[in-house]
Amino acid sequence: MPRRQPRLRFALPLLLAACSSSADLVVQSKEQFRKGNFYQAFYALQSARAAGYRSEELDRLYQPYRQAFLLKRAQRRVFDNEDALALQDLAQVLAVDPDNPIAVLWTRKAKEKLARRSTDRGDRAVANGDLEVGLLAYHEALEFVPGYPDAQDGISGVVATWQKRRDKAESRYLEGVRALAEDLFAQTEYHMLIALDADPEHEAAKRSKREAVERLHEIRFEKAVQAIESGHYNAALHDLEQVKRESPDYPGLDARIAEAEREIEAETLATKGERALFRGEYEKARESIDAAFELSRRERPRYNDLLLMTRDREYGDKYVVAKDAELQGRLEDAVARYRKIEEEYSGFLDVAARISDLQASIDLATEAYDAGAKAEEEGNLDQAIEKFADAALLYPKFRDVKARLEGLRQRRENEVNR
């Protein structure tokens, strides 16, 4: 995956400009939620948080609005036959609220649909004579809904069919033995092939069965490898663990399981880091995402982007504080804060330009102030007032410039009146 350049540094000024309306986003979110527009309600809260807005009300609303959003999306996915994705959303809801009645209901609906789908697939496989594929599909249905009647009926049908085949295999086997006794080798081969086809568990067919099982494991293993390559680590682990139960010594299996488990653990750490990032807990975010980066081998570019985003968000907050100091006329404090940002994150936004502009104002104010002080010592009242006025214009809060300027103007007025 190519490394993306962090975009937040370019979007940050827009976000800062929108901060004043972030409270309005919370109000809009509440209104949308009241209308039942859970997507829009949660999106508005997300937008406010993305803009750096923080409030007790936002934190209070975030989790219930997120739950409502996930439930709504899960329901839509069930209607769209995206039941596996719906279960992922519902699992997130149940992780926070295990007894949520809506999530429990829709989880059951999604699993029943998946069980129905697996059973139908099993029925089609059995109809095509693929009994092993059909049996796997029926058992998959039972994993979704234990005791699912149609799947159990399907398994019973497969068992009955196998029994018929075993009876047929035994009969054909005896025919083959008789043919062999009479040196009828072509007929012997014919009867034995039918016996093996009818009952793969027949003693004479065991080697063929082992080859078939190995082939099934090979297919499942390759499917898991493809899932790992596409970033679906949980799905990969599910297939790999099935192979592990039936063929624990399969070549390369343990390494692939370790790889999938490692990436799943890294994903968990990264998710924890993202949550800390949204809360503004940057040190915790870095710690979790750094750990995910070190653990992962396949998702490092994505976790690197998260680290860059964390850095930009953190220094964006520091930038706001420095800019507030600047807007309040505390130029030296602002310069000190900007310099700290520049030292730790060179090139961030327009920090270097602001340092240059502010330092120029400070230097010119200092120069004018010193010239005013010198003129005052020499008794040149008009020149002193002029220089102190220049300093006050450049840096209104510089030292005691306002007080001195006011004092000098009063002295001049007293002299004129005298």
Average pLDDT, the chain: 79
Instruction: Look at residue 413 and tell me if it is in a domain.
Output: yes
Domain that holds residue 410: 342-417
Domain count, the chain: 1
- Measured in whole angstroms, the distance separating CA 350 from the mean position of its chain's CA atoms is 30
Q: 398-410, pLDDT tens digit by residue?
A: 888 898 889 888 8
Measured at the CA of 19, the angle between CA 16 and CA 24, to 5 degrees, comes to 155
Which structure tokens are listed for 240? 């790999």
pLDDT at 175: 61
Residue with tokens 């998959």: 140
Is 143 inside a domain boundary?
Answer: no
* Residues 237-280: tens digit of each pLDDT: 888 888 888 788 888 889 999 999 999 999 999 999 999 988 88
CB-based contact 404:388 (threshold 8 Å): yes
- Asked whether 58 and 45 are in contact (CB, 8 A), the reply is yes
pLDDT for the residue 189: 44
Does residue 228 contact residue 236 with C-beta atoms inside 8 Å? yes
pLDDT at 186: 42
Residues of the chain with pLDDT > 90, as a percent, come to 22
How far apart (Å, rounded) are the C-alpha atoms in residues 175 and 182?
A: 11
Q: Flag whether 365 is in a domain.
A: yes
Domain assignment present for residue 122? The answer is no
- Predicted confidence pLDDT, tens digits, the chain (418 residues): 333 433 333 333 333 334 447 677 778 777 777 777 677 877 877 787 777 777 777 767 777 777 778 888 888 888 888 888 888 888 888 888 888 888 888 888 888 888 888 888 888 988 888 877 888 888 888 888 888 888 888 888 877 776 676 666 666 656 655 555 565 444 554 455 555 565 555 454 343 334 445 666 777 888 888 988 888 889 888 888 888 887 888 888 899 999 999 999 999 999 999 999 888 898 999 899 999 999 999 899 999 999 999 999 989 999 999 999 989 989 999 999 999 999 988 888 899 999 999 999 999 999 999 999 999 888 898 898 999 899 888 888 888 889 888 988 888 888 777 6
- Helix ranges restricted to H, 281-395: 282-295, 300-327, 331-344, 351-377, 381-394
Cβ contacts of 329 within 8 Å, gap of 6 or more: 395, 396, 397
Supply the CATH number for residue 397's domain.
1.25.40
Percent of the chain with pLDDT over 70: 81
| Residue-level pLDDT at 410 | 86
What is the pLDDT, as a whole number, of residue 2?
39
| 5 lies in some domain | no
Nearest to 309 by CA among 2, 19, 4: 4
In a domain, 337, yes or no: no
Q: Is the alpha carbon torsion for 283, 288, 291, 292 positive or negative? A: negative
Can you give the pTM of this predicted structure? 0.44
Let me know if residue 319 belongs to a domain: no
84-121 pLDDT, tens per residue? 888 888 888 888 888 888 888 888 888 888 888 888 88
Q: How far apart are CA 139 and CA 151, in angstroms?
A: 7
CA distance 150 to 141: 9
Give pLDDT, residue 170.
60
Residue 348 maps to a domain = yes
In angstroms, the Cα distances linking 345 to 74, 81, 385 are: 42, 48, 42
